Amino acid sequence: MSKQPVTVIGLGPMGHAMASTFVDNGHAVTVWNRTASKADGLVAKGATLAQSPAAALSASELVILSLTDYDAMYAILGDATDALRGRTLVNLSSDTPDKARAAAAWAAEHGAQYLTGGVQASPVGIGDPKTFTFYSGPASVFEANKGVLELLTGTDYRGEDPGLAALYYQLQLDVFWTTALAWLHALAVANANGISAQDMLPYVSGTVAGMPDFFGFYTARIDAGEHPGDVDRLAMGVASVDHVVQTARDAGIDATLPAAVLEVFERGIAAGRADDSFTSLIESLKKPSA
Ligand code: NDP
């Protein structure tokens, strides 16, 4: 039996890697991209370039979307809604949970099934089963397409609510982008002191590698709503963050990021939590006015 045809719409680095993986696995792949030239390499290896979004939808029941955001999906498919009936859209683009829920309703209005995906891999991780993607939407739709989707990455099905995969994805990116910028900030301070990124690599890697233990220690306390200052006190934390800010300023480096951290710590102190753990700041974050 021949393999299921797949359409991929959006050929940035991610969509390109996905379409390439489907071709490598023997699927008939149809692609469409606003900038058509990005399909050249894929066409050379056997993919078909659709002449319009409607033609791309008509070519395969399973349609993967890999776009900058959901607005791009409406920009592309808004004039091709007649071709949505009977399709299964798997949207692997980043956006908010609310946008994902609205997109699922929009797809249903036009007779299409819909899954949300949040890819936890870079383009080089596509095709590697050790990476994974969060999925949500109807379980039956996920199960029916799981085998093909697992050619891209492993899968982690989060539930029926189409917003859930987007939510889990954004929660990881909340940690990822802030951590990645903290790394760049530390490197800027290091460079200003004659220390290279390479010199820093083992140390910063060690700090990040210690984070799972750190999270593990505090997780049960946070879930219990308990923030005792037996291991760390917010009064210590605020002084420590202030030292980070001052070290950056002394080196002539932008201190916006640690200053934002300091501002949250200071709000915790102002709320009377000096003797509690820094984890009590979650209460300040939940109620920005408190
Ligand atoms: P890019 O932003 O490089 O590519 C996005 C695609 O969206 C391109 O095909 C682009 O078309 C298209 N596009 C954007 N706006 C419009 C529009 N208004 N109309 C038509 N087409 C549009 O993204 P990536 O490929 O890197 O990523 C795709 C998705 O995957 C994103 O949501 C990203 O957040 C997510 N992601 C990316 C990762 C990465 O490491 N790159 C990792 C995990 C997730 P054109 O080529 O014509 O510009």
Q: Name the pLDDT band for 288 (thresholds 50, 70, 90).
A: confident
| CA–CA dist 128, 125 (Å, integer) | 5
User: Among 5, 180, 11, which Cα is nearest to 93's?
Assistant: 11
Amino acid present at 18: M
In tens, the pLDDT along 182-234 reads: 999 999 999 999 999 999 999 999 999 999 999 999 999 999 999 999 999 99
Which residue is closest in CA terms to ligand 1's atom 7? 67
CA–centroid distance, 214 to ligand 1, in Å, is: 34
ipTM: 0.98
User: Among 231, 266, 227, which Cα is nearest to 245's?
Assistant: 266
In tens, the pLDDT along 7-58 reads: 999 999 999 999 999 999 999 999 999 999 999 999 999 999 999 999 999 9
265-285 average pLDDT score: 96
Q: What pLDDT shows up at residue 84?
A: 98
97: Cα separation from own chain's centroid: 12
| CA–CA dist 256, 249 (Å, integer) | 10
Average pLDDT, the chain: 97
Domains of the chain are 6-159 (3.40.50.720), 168-286 (1.10.1040.10)
User: Among 18, 40, 38, 37, which Cα is nearest to 29's?
Assistant: 18
| CA–CA dist 273, 81 (Å, integer) | 55
CA–centroid distance, 109 to ligand 1, in Å, is: 25
Pairing of strands 6-9, 154-159: unpaired
Q: Does ligand 1 have an atom closer than 6 angstroms to the CB of 93? A: yes
Q: What pLDDT shows up at residue 22?
A: 98
In tens, the pLDDT along 53-82 reads: 999 999 999 999 999 999 999 999 999 999
Question: Cβ–Cβ contacts within 10 Å for residue 283, how many?
Answer: 16
| CA–CA dist 257, 276 (Å, integer) | 23
The secondary structure of residue 38, as a DSSP letter, is G
CA–centroid distance, 143 to ligand 1, in Å, is: 26
Q: What pLDDT shows up at residue 2?
A: 80
Ligand 1 pocket mutation, candidates 11, 66, 68, criterion most atoms within 8 A of CB: 68
Q: Does ligand 1 have an atom closer than 6 angstroms to the CB of 91? A: no
- 63 sits in the region (left: phi over 0; alpha: psi -120 to 50; else beta) called beta
Q: Does ligand 1 have an atom closer than 6 angstroms to the CB of 14? A: yes
